[in-house]
């Protein structure tokens, strides 16, 4: 359904030339397209213009919030009655704009928000996983997934740390979840949480490391341990680890050895770098266990350890 030029589709973009042309072409079915070029160094502006979009360009990268604010303000000043937004990377299904805009045009709501995870698929999340573990009411009514079924009809969601932080700052009584480094660097208020041992703890390097140190890493093949709600008086209950996957049987042992040498270097030299970036180094006992797992499980075709 074409909603006419009374509707503007705002697309914030930063170095999105490869995908932007197709996104603009599909977005034009739903209204006039405004691309906010957020200081791109590639052909983003040229691609947008060629595809039929109006382009508003920043001289430098200002971030998503500034791009959206500029786009919506420009649409209002140009007299558009409605505005929709999609990302330039093609991850948002552009044709769903018709459904969202129709909700607003029919006065069913003032703002309609779509989620790519609305079908309940995707990764799960340590914050929901914790609540799913400790409360049957949460498990039954809300659940544990990338997108959950919030009971309040006015629930709002933001994209990424910046989007969530923006909602929390603007909505009275709102509670959000952002990455620790983002919260620390932006001096955001935070709360204490009760951990598995019944102790209320604050989020910081020591409580994250306590959760990692107290986990039974040998209990799961490949050390794929979920760190939510780990035991320990100092453990932060919503902790998550990042993982690197490597084949246990290596067709190219020499290449595998070089990969492991890189991670060995990272463990020896990168711990302080992680701290400087407000990330948390793995505890020494866990690092030692990882090295042991390398030697025991990563082998060549003859069964010999590659490291």
Confidence check: pLDDT of 2 > 50: no
Mean pLDDT, the chain, whole residue set: 84
Burial 237-254 (b: 16+ CB within 10 A, else e): bbbebeeeeeeeebeebe
Nearest to 115 by CA among 145, 147, 141, 153: 147
pLDDT (0 to 100) of residue 180: 86
Confidence check: pLDDT of 26 > 90: yes
- Residue 108 pLDDT class (50, 70, 90 cuts): confident
- Provide CB contacts within 8 A for 16, sequence distance 6+: 23, 40, 42, 44, 88, 89
pLDDT (0 to 100) of residue 132: 54
- Residue 305 is classified by DSSP as B
**All domains in the chain, ordered by first residue:** 7-105 (3.90.550.10), 126-202 (3.40.190.10), 249-300 (no CATH)
Q: Is the dihedral of CA 54, 71, 35, 30 positive or negative?
A: negative
Percentage above 90 pLDDT, the chain:
38
Residue 278 has φ and ψ, to the nearest 5°, of: 65, 30
- Residue 259 pLDDT class (50, 70, 90 cuts): very high
Question: 198-210 pLDDT, tens per residue?
Answer: 899 999 989 999 9
Dist. CA 204–CA 181, nearest whole Å: 10
Q: Helix, strand or coil for residue 106?
A: coil
Nearest to 235 by CA among 212, 268, 207, 262: 207
pLDDT (0 to 100) of residue 121: 47
Residue 38 near residue 48, CB atoms below 8 Å: no
Q: Helix, strand or coil for residue 8?
A: strand
Burial 215-230 (b: 16+ CB within 10 A, else e): bebeeeeebebbbbbb
Question: 261-285 pLDDT, tens per residue?
Answer: 999 999 888 888 888 888 888 888 8
Q: Which residue has the higher pLDDT, 171 or 180?
A: 180
| Lowest-pLDDT range of 121-135, 186-200, 237-251 | 121-135
pLDDT (0 to 100) of residue 47: 95
Taking residue 107's Cβ as centre, other Cβ atoms within 10 Å add up to 7
Question: 128-168 pLDDT, tens per residue?
Answer: 455 555 556 666 667 666 666 666 666 666 677 777 777 77
pLDDT (0 to 100) of residue 154: 64
Percentage above 70 pLDDT, the chain:
84
Q: Is the pTM of this model over 0.85?
A: no
Nearest to 91 by CA among 115, 108, 112: 115
pLDDT (0 to 100) of residue 58: 93
- Residue 24 pLDDT class (50, 70, 90 cuts): very high
pLDDT (0 to 100) of residue 147: 65
């Amino acid at each position: 359904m074409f909603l006419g030029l009374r509707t503007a589709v705002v697309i914030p973009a930063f170095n999105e030339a490869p995908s932007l042309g197709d996104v603009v072409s599909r977005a034009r079915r739903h209204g006039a397209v405004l691309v906010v070029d957020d200081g791109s160094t590639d052909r983003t502006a040229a691609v947008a213009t060629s595809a039929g979009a109006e382009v508003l360009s920043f001289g430098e990268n200002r971030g998503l919030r500034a791009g959206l604010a500029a786009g919506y303000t420009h649409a209002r000043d140009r007299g558009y009655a409605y505005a929709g937004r999609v990302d330039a990377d093609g991850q948002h299904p552009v044709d769903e704009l018709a459904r969202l805009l129709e909700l607003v045009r029919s006065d069913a709501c003032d703002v309609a928000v779509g989620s790519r995870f609305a079908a309940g698929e995707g990764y799960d999340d340590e914050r929901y996983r914790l609540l799913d573990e400790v409360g049957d009411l949460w498990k039954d009514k809300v659940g544990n997934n990338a997108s959950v079924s919030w009971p309040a009809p006015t629930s709002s969601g933001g994209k990424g740390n910046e989007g969530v932080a923006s909602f929390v700052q603007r909505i009275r009584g709102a509670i959000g979840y952002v990455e620790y480094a983002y919260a620390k660097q932006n001096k955001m208020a935070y709360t204490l949480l009760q951990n598995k041992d019944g102790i209320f703890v604050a989020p910081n390097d020591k409580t994250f490391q306590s959760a990692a140190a107290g986990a039974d890493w040998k209990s799961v093949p490949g050390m794929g341990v979920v760190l939510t709600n780990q035991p320990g008086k100092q453990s932060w209950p919503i902790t998550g680890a990042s993982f690197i996957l490597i084949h246990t049987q290596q067709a190219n042992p020499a290449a595998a050895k070089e990969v492991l040498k890189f991670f060995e270097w990272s463990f020896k030299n990168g711990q302080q770098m992680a701290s400087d970036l407000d990330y948390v180094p793995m505890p020494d006992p866990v690092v030692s266990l990882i090295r042991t797992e390398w030697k025991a499980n990563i082998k060549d075709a003859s069964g010999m350890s590659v490291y």
